Homo-oligomer: A and B are copies of this chain.
C-alpha cells in the first residue's frame, strides 16, 4: 500500500490500538470517566463467532462494577459443575467425579460464564456508545513515535506520542492517513501486537509441544455431561468440553503431530486440516458415547500452546501494552480474555487520575508492577496445568501418567487463581498492609469480599460490591461500631469531624463527594438503628448508611464485621481502590495514616 498524504491531525488524551476484549474494556472505563479517548481496530467488524469466550467469577464482579453484569448473565451460559472422565475397564470412558467448577468459596458468582467474544465485545460497544465513543475501523497504525523530551514526558497534560493511522478501504487499499497526538497510548492489539513490536519489547518464554484443536458446534450426543465443563482423559486422547450459550458447546482436542500435520519446522499445516478431523478425534475419545457429525461447525481453529510474557508492559508510562500483547498462554484454563480485561481494569483508573491531575505520574508505574507479576504467575500456572492436561491418563500400562487425583488436586489448588478471586497485589504506594490486622479477613491487595449488609433506613439487603462501582473514586468503608450506643455515637461524631478535615486536603480540587465514596457501616441492629443518627458528612443519601444485620427473612446478610475480621468495639476504615481492591486499612483514630496513604500519590489538584 502506498502511503497517502496526511489529511488531518488531531489530539487525544488516550489512543487505544485494538478493540478486542482488553481494548474495549479500557475504552469503556476511560470514556465513562469522561476521558477523551479514541479506539481503532484493523478488523472491519467485531468477531462473529469463536475466539475466547470464558468469563471467570472475578471478571463477572468487574463487569458488575461497570453495570455490565446483568446483560452478561442474561446472554451467557453458566458453568457451575466440572466433571472428570477417565478410562473405564471396558476400553471406553466413565465418570470419575463431579466437583464445583469454581472452588474459590468467596466468589460472589460461583460459576463461569461462557459467551462468544463478539457478544462480549458488543456489551462494551453499546456502553461506549452511551458515552459517545465508537470504534474507528478498519484502521491500522503505521508509525508510533515517543518524544524523548523529559519535560514533555513528565507533564501529564503534554502529548508526547505521535501515531500515524491509515484507514483501510473496502477494496483493501490504503485510505486516508492521519496523525494523532496522544497523551497516552494503549496497545491492545493482540499476541502479534504491532505496538509491542514497534517499541521493541521482547516476549520471554517458549513455544511448547502441545497442539490443540478447537471446534464450536451444536452437539447431537448422548454424553450426559455435555452441559458441564468436562475434562476427558481417555486412552484415545484428551479433550475438554465447555458448554456455551444457545445450546452450543466448545470442545478442545489434544492432537498428536501427525493429526495436526506439523511441518518439519514445527508449524501446523492448516491447509491439511478441517474440523471434521477434529471431531473424529472427539468421537474416539468419547466412546462409548456418541457425538454426531454436525451439518456445520460454528467455528474452529488449531494452535500450539506458547507461554510468554512481555519483558515490560510500558515505555516511560506513556505507551502501555495490555492483554495478549503482553502475555500469551493456553486457552484451556479460560484465562485469556480475563487476564486481558483485568489488565485494562487495572490501568484505566490510574490514567483517569493522572489525566485529571488527581494523582502523580508515578501512580502509572504500579500498572506494570501489579500486572506483570500476575502475568508471570499466570504462565507458571498454565505451564503446570497444560502439562497435566496434555499428559496421558494413568493406567496399568502408563503408570507415569496423570492420575485423576493429581489432576483434581491441581484443579482445586489453582481454583483461587483461575477464578481470579485470589489475585493479590503486592505492597506499593497504593497497597499498604500496615494495619492489615484491623480487618484480618479482608486481605489488603485483594478485592473486597462480597458481603450483604442492610440499608439502615429501610432494611433492604445490599451487596457491598454494588456500592463500589468502577467510577474512579476511592471508597471509604467506615466501620463505625454500634451507632445506637450513645457513647459510641459521640466518638463517631468526633471521628467524622476529623475525617472531614483530613479529606479536605486530598480531593484534588474536587468536592469530597466527587473524590470519595463514603459508606458508613454501623454494627447497630435493624431494630435499634436510626440511620440519621450518623453524622451527615458520612452519608450522601439515606440509602448509603448500612448496618450489619440479617434481612427480615433471616437468610441474607449478617456477620459482616466478623466475616471481615473487624472488631466492632474498635471499628476501622477500609480504603478501597477504584478497581475494587483493598488499598489499605486505617484505624478510626489514625487520620494521619489515612492522609499519608492517600497523599502518597495525590497529584497537583
**Which of A98-106, A128-136, A338-346, A471-479 forms part of the interface with chain B?**
A98-106
Known: A224-B531, A531-B224, A532-B224. A553 touches B110 (CB 8 A): yes
| B residues near A111, Cβ cutoff 8 Å | 460, 552
Return the chain B residue nearest A541 by Cβ.
Answer: B247
| B residues near A110, Cβ cutoff 8 Å | 551-553
Q: Can you offer 10 A-B residue contacts whose CB atoms are under 8 A?
A: A81-B458, A81-B552, A98-B526, A110-B551, A110-B552, A111-B552, A224-B530, A224-B531, A227-B455, A228-B457
Find residues 454-509 in chain A having any chain B CB closer than 8 Å to their own CB. Answer: 455, 457-461
Q: Does A542 contact B (CB under 8 A)?
A: yes
Q: Does A394 contact B (CB under 8 A)?
A: no
Q: Which 6 residue pairs are nearest across A and B when measured between Cβ atoms?
A: A100-B552, A227-B458, A224-B530, A227-B457, A81-B459, A80-B459
Distance between Cα atoms of A451 and B426 in the complex (Å): 44
Q: Does A243 contact B (CB under 8 A)?
A: yes
The smallest C-beta distance from A418 to any residue of chain B, in angstroms, reads: 15
Q: Assess whether A79 is in contact with B226, with CB atoms less than 8 Å apart.
A: no
Return the chain B residue nearest A525 by Cβ.
Answer: B98
Contact flags (1/0) for A530-552 with B, using CB distance below 8 Å? 11110000000010000000011
| B residues near A551, Cβ cutoff 8 Å | 80, 110
Q: Assess whether A228 is in contact with B532, with CB atoms less than 8 Å apart.
A: no
Known: A101-B552, A110-B551. A226 touches B457 (CB 8 A): yes
Known: A100-B552, A110-B551, A551-B80. A542 touches B459 (CB 8 A): no
Number of copies: 2
| B residues near A460, Cβ cutoff 8 Å | 78, 80, 111
| B residues near A102, Cβ cutoff 8 Å | 552
Interface size for chain A: under 10, 10 to 19, 20 to 34, or 35 or more residues? 20 to 34
Starting from the known contacts A79-B458, A102-B552, A224-B531, 14 additional A-B residue pairs (CB-CB under 8 Å) come to A78-B458, A80-B460, A80-B551, A81-B552, A98-B527, A111-B460, A224-B532, A226-B457, A227-B457, A227-B458, A227-B531, A227-B542, A228-B457, A243-B458
Find residues 166-186 in chain A having any chain B CB closer than 8 Å to their own CB. Answer: none
Q: Assess whether B553 is in contact with A100, with CB atoms less than 8 Å apart.
A: yes
Q: Does A222 contact B (CB under 8 A)?
A: yes
Return the chain B residue nearest A243 by Cβ.
Answer: B458
Which of these, B98, B105, B459, contacts A228 with CB under 8 Å? B459
Distance between Cα atoms of A458 and B228 in the complex (Å): 5
| B residues near A224, Cβ cutoff 8 Å | 457, 530-533
The smallest C-beta distance from A241 to any residue of chain B, in angstroms, reads: 11
Return the chain B residue nearest A228 by Cβ.
Answer: B458
Contact flags (1/0) for A241-255 with B, using CB distance below 8 Å? 001000100000000
The smallest C-beta distance from A313 to any residue of chain B, in angstroms, reads: 35
Distance between Cα atoms of A226 and B102 in the complex (Å): 42
Find residues 511-539 in chain A having any chain B CB closer than 8 Å to their own CB. Answer: 526-527, 530-533
Interface centre among A101, A222, A224, A531 (most CB of B within 10 A): A224
| B residues near A552, Cβ cutoff 8 Å | 80-81, 100-102, 110-111
Distance between Cα atoms of A376 and B458 in the complex (Å): 33
Distance between Cα atoms of A531 and B223 in the complex (Å): 10
| B residues near A79, Cβ cutoff 8 Å | 458
Return the chain B residue nearest A457 by Cβ.
Answer: B227
Distance between Cα atoms of A457 and B229 in the complex (Å): 11
Contact flags (1/0) for A85-123 with B, using CB distance below 8 Å? 000000000000010111001000011000000000000
Return the chain B residue nearest A556 by Cβ.
Answer: B110
| B residues near A80, Cβ cutoff 8 Å | 458-461, 551-552
Interface centre among A80, A100, A101, A105 (most CB of B within 10 A): A80
| B residues near A458, Cβ cutoff 8 Å | 78-81, 227-228, 243
The smallest C-beta distance from A68 to any residue of chain B, in angstroms, reads: 15
| B residues near A531, Cβ cutoff 8 Å | 224, 227
Contact flags (1/0) for A24-60 with B, using CB distance below 8 Å? 0000000000000000000000000000000000000
| B residues near A526, Cβ cutoff 8 Å | 81, 98
| B residues near A101, Cβ cutoff 8 Å | 552
Distance between Cα atoms of A222 and B531 in the complex (Å): 10
Distance between Cα atoms of A542 and B531 in the complex (Å): 48
| B residues near A100, Cβ cutoff 8 Å | 552-553
Find residues 189-236 in chain A having any chain B CB closer than 8 Å to their own CB. Answer: 222, 224, 226-228
Interface centre among A78, A101, A459, A542 (most CB of B within 10 A): A459
| B residues near A532, Cβ cutoff 8 Å | 222, 224
Distance between Cα atoms of A224 and B532 in the complex (Å): 6
The smallest C-beta distance from A308 to any residue of chain B, in angstroms, reads: 34
Find residues 144-183 in chain A having any chain B CB closer than 8 Å to their own CB. Answer: none
Interface centre among A98, A102, A228, A455 (most CB of B within 10 A): A98
Distance between Cα atoms of A526 and B80 in the complex (Å): 11
The smallest C-beta distance from A304 to any residue of chain B, in angstroms, reads: 31
